[in-house]
Structure 1
Amino acid sequence: MSETLYDRLGGRDAIASVVDRFYERVLSDEQVAHYFDDVDMQKQRAHQTQFISAVAGGPVDYDGQSMEEAHEHLGITRPDFEAIATHLDETLAEFDVPEDDRAAVLEAIAEYEDAIVAAA
């Protein structure tokens, strides 16, 4: 059996560490921090860890709201989506995740871009 992206990222604990650092970066970015003003960040971190684990092929099923339901009220713009994706890429790089694996994570997340970004 070949190693999944989830395995290469180091499994749930490593992904949770990446998610914690990712949100530190996002919350310190004035462009996008406001999206999280009224968000329970402990729950958000858990959901994001579960989501990334699932899209990376881990033994995890994401059981949160659909991407549309979770984001429709936020009015996320494409530039803000890209800023947040950049934070994720830079955070993965900070954790020494190889470029190919970072690209694979971002490609998996990009599949949800139309569900996350508000219609213009």
Structure 2
Amino acid sequence: MSTYDAIGGSAAVKAAVDEFYVRVLADPEIAPFFRGKDIPTLKAHQRDFIGAAIGGPEVYTGNPIPDVHGTLCINDAQFDVVVAHLLGALSGLGVPDATTGEIGKALAPLRAQIVTAV
């Protein structure tokens, strides 16, 4: 069984992304990255990206990750906070720690594509 199926499929990914955006938009350190952005479109891309990354049928059709994040000057600490918000959203929805750990491991390689600031 894929991680996607284990967490509850599309409905769970949607709920997690919705909660993730509640968290990041309320975080004074992270929220500025989202000012003036089209949040519904970001959510749709995030759902597709996460769904595809954890074994779902979604296909991410957004721009390449380095292109999207390259000019934002994201540092390691900010990357960690964003991942923590996503994993916290999943945990808050009842996803077991072992599964959120696997999702965290799947996201770890993105650090090299997203972090551009020291």
TM-score (ref. length: structure 1)? 0.94
| Runs of 5+ unmatched residues, structure 2 | none
Q: Where does residue 89 of structure 1 map in the other structure?
A: 87
CA distance in 2, matches of 1:9, 1:66: 26
* Matched residue, 1:106: 104
| Structure 1 partner of 2:61 | 63
Choose from 34, 40, 49 the match for 2:32.
Answer: 34
Secondary structure at 1:69 match in 2? helix
Query: Which amino acid in structure 1 is aligned with residue 48 of structure 2?
Result: Q
1:46 aligns with 2:41: no
Among 70, 74, 77, the residue aligned to 1:76: 74
The one-character-per-residue Cα deviations of 1:46-96 (angstroms, maximum 9, x if unpaired) are 000000000001112211111100101111111110111111111111001
5+ unaligned residues in a row in structure 1: which ranges? none
Between the aligned partners of 1:98 and 1:13, the Cα distance in structure 2 is 16
- The CA RMSD measured in Å over matched residues stands at 1.0
Q: Normalising by structure 2, what TM-score?
A: 0.95
After TM superposition, what 4+ stretches of structure 1 lie above 2 angstroms from structure 2?
none
> Identity over the aligned pairs, expressed in percent?
35
Alpha-carbon shift at residue 119 of structure 1 (Å): 4.5
Q: Secondary structure at the match of 1:111?
A: helix
